[in-house]
A and B are shown apart, each in its own frame.
Chain A
């Protein structure tokens, strides 16, 4: 079946603009995760969803970042007033359910470049 789908695959925007990144998880997966990966850096956790609720928002870098999930499926990550340090690959993952025995499956990410 289809894997995790993210769009756009690449986004170039000017500093100060808002951007919206979309994640379409694997069908039937109830847990959804957002990470980002900067050049040469490791994986940084941002937020996760169980269904439509986000119990842990502690990883969001600032109040310019927000995320929502509706209908238990598609999620959007919004970055307002983008800064150059926001440039990174934003990765979405989903798992069948919440739990450490549930593998997270990743999309190919959105490469965000802030000019």
Chain B
């Protein structure tokens, strides 16, 4: 699966949109972009995934660039409970999730 690169940490004010970037310049055509998050002492939580088109669900939106080399996860109205480590993964046929260092997002009151 393609390597992904994310900023180590980000801060966002409560109530504002949190935009988390991810680079995956070597992604192949059959690899999906997945986002998970993990809050301390809990299991990873699935957020959203996409292949080419932008996606939206009740938790977040995923914007994938036309060349698929990068994407952005958007939490539209961040709350304190969104403080977590966010992982961007390019997942292909092997189905083996590999988490890198992720982005530690802190939502400030």
Contacts and interface: CB of A to CB of B under 8 A. Distances in A.
- Chain A binding surface, main DSSP class: loop
Contact of B44 (A43, A59, A98): A43
A98 B43 contact: no
Interface in B4-60: 30-32, 34, 41-46, 49, 51
Contacts of B91: 100
Contacts of A105: 46
Contacts of B95: 31, 33, 48, 98-100, 104
Contact of A100 (B41, B92, B99): B92
B51 A106 contact: no
A25 interface: no
A106 B34 CA distance: 14
B93 interface: yes
Given A91-B43, A101-B32, A103-B46, A43 B93 contact: no
Interface string A87-113: 000010100001111011111110000
A71 interface: no
B98 A100 contact: no
Contacts of A98: 95
A45 to B, nearest CB: 4
Contacts of B44: 43, 91, 93, 106
Given A43-B97, A100-B30, A108 B42 contact: yes
B100 interface: yes
B106 to A, nearest CB: 19
Interface of B: 30-32, 34, 41-46, 49, 51, 91-93, 95-101
Given A42-B98, A99-B95, A100-B95, 16 more contacts: A4-B43, A31-B95, A33-B97, A35-B97, A43-B97, A43-B98, A48-B95, A59-B96, A91-B43, A93-B43, A100-B31, A100-B92, A100-B93, A101-B32, A103-B49, A108-B41
